[in-house]
Structure 1
């Protein structure tokens, strides 16, 4: 009788340990994700800069990269189809000459994964070897992961995070999107 009872207890203990280990790994991962947010990059030069639309400060940072000569071209990925280049120029005080030569509006992306695909194609079309990725600090890890899996591996990506003050809920959601992205790639989905 005792042996029959002992076996399920050992199995239960094993499942508890596995669950505890996974919970600890999840908690430590979330702490890393939330506390050690990516930082802005320095003035390192790149062939191009890609700005993922969304939270404030991103487009301004991309324009700064072009104006300061850190990058020669800029893609704004995920632009609403109703936005025209002239409207963007007025909104961000961009001279027409800079819009004409250096800034492309990407209308094809609707999420982070399609931002990466749009950026990869833009980088190929413009024969880029280096790309500065601009997005919010809380979004950077997932955006960089998606871009690294979509872009030519010979193209170097410089992460340039825009500092923000994300809420706990935003970090919690983004962490799980980040994890799901890794699982989806692992399962080849």
Structure 2
């Protein structure tokens, strides 16, 4: 009996990992949301967020998890952000150290502005956990549009991220 249970759990884990690795979230078409939220991390995230912001599909963009040593002018130069866009529409968040912190920082930022919809822009391999952490921190009336940035991710990164996502999913299921 114990061996069967272990076997079933192992098969479920393996099939879950296969699904997680093969069916990575995809980019979303540009559509209107109140805000764009981009956690710092792998390449392409900020560029995608700025592209959507410049298309007029959102009022503002939060880049969460920015290193406190980064100056706004450095960020602006690095990503070629026009001054008018930087002044009106881009917020750099310096309070988050991890994905859970990104979610807390985002929830506070959204609440301060009264927004009810956001586009989450993050790497395809990071999307499930980032969206789960956000959903846990945000009120249920806030909609999250998932806009995954395609990446060339290693099997090791997928393995680690799968287990982090499983931990978040399990903790949320136990609430």
| TM-score, normalisation: structure 1 | 0.90
* Distance in 2 (alpha carbons) for counterparts of 1:153 and 1:100: 30
| Residue in structure 2 matching 1:137, options 120, 124, 148 | 124
Matches within 5 A, 1:48-127: 48-127=35-114
Q: CA deviation at 1:96?
A: 1.0
Matched, 1:148 2:158: no
Q: CA deviation at 1:184?
A: 2.9
Q: Which segments of 5 or more consecutive residues in structure 1 lack a partner in the other structure?
A: 1-13
* Distance in 2 (alpha carbons) for counterparts of 1:25 and 1:145: 20
Q: RMSD between aligned alpha carbons?
A: 0.9
Which structure's CA Rg is the greater one? 1
Q: CA deviation at 1:187?
A: 4.7
Give the length in aligned residue pairs: 175
| TM-score, normalisation: structure 2 | 0.97
* Distance in 1 (alpha carbons) for counterparts of 2:16 and 2:137: 24
Instruction: Show the counterpart of 1:36.
Output: 23
Q: CA deviation at 1:138?
A: 0.2
* Distance in 1 (alpha carbons) for counterparts of 2:15 and 2:173: 21
